[in-house]
Amino acid sequence: MKVLLYAAVVLIVVPLQTTFLNHVSVLDVRPDLCLIAVCLVGFWGGELDGLVLGIILGWSQDLLSAGDLWVNVVSKGGAGFVAGLAGRHLAHITPTVLLIGLAVISCVSSLAFVYSMKVSEWDAVWHAMYSKVFLQGVCDAAVGTAAYWLFMRRLGIDDMMAGDRY
């Protein structure tokens, strides 16, 4: 069941991210649905599921983007692994914990992209920090927490994933 769910996530999230979300932005920031999906899968499925789905989603994003190769693979795979570790070691994931965790993971992932651009001037780095990185973290945390609430409360994903977890 999980394999079909993960395949559906890969086949839906990446095209949605690359086509529809290019036209939707607030303050020139778009939610990173791949990062959000990887973190949610990591929280629910564990570190291996988050890592594998992160590598697959990051690889497909790298194939469809004009950026540096392997940046998405490393950042999405690492985010899924960290989210899986957090999900395994926390007794119960609340929306508040998820909000804070997604904001931190998103900021670190955005900083990896700033670092990959090889910006040498500190003014440009600080401008990217307060104009993009923090706004991206807030946007991803809000969308991810709303998705967590929707899937957990309305669709019962937490019960479905708990059966396959151990």
CB of 114 closer than 8 Å to CB of 126: no
Vertex 139 angle, CA 136 and 140, to 5°: 85
pLDDT at 166: 44
* Closest listed residue to residue 113, CA positions, set 63, 80, 76: 76
Going from the C-alpha of 1 to that of each of 4, 40, 55, 91, 162, the distances in angstroms are 5, 16, 20, 24, 12
pLDDT tier, 18 (very low <50, low <70, confident <90, very high otherwise): confident
pLDDT at 99: 92
pLDDT at 94: 82
The mean pLDDT value of the chain amounts to 84
pLDDT in tens, 31-43: 999 999 999 999 8
pLDDT tier, 161 (very low <50, low <70, confident <90, very high otherwise): low
pLDDT exceeds 70 at position 97: yes
pLDDT at 163: 52
pLDDT at 138: 92
pLDDT exceeds 50 at position 165: no
- Report the predicted TM-score, pTM, of the whole model to 2 decimal places: 0.85
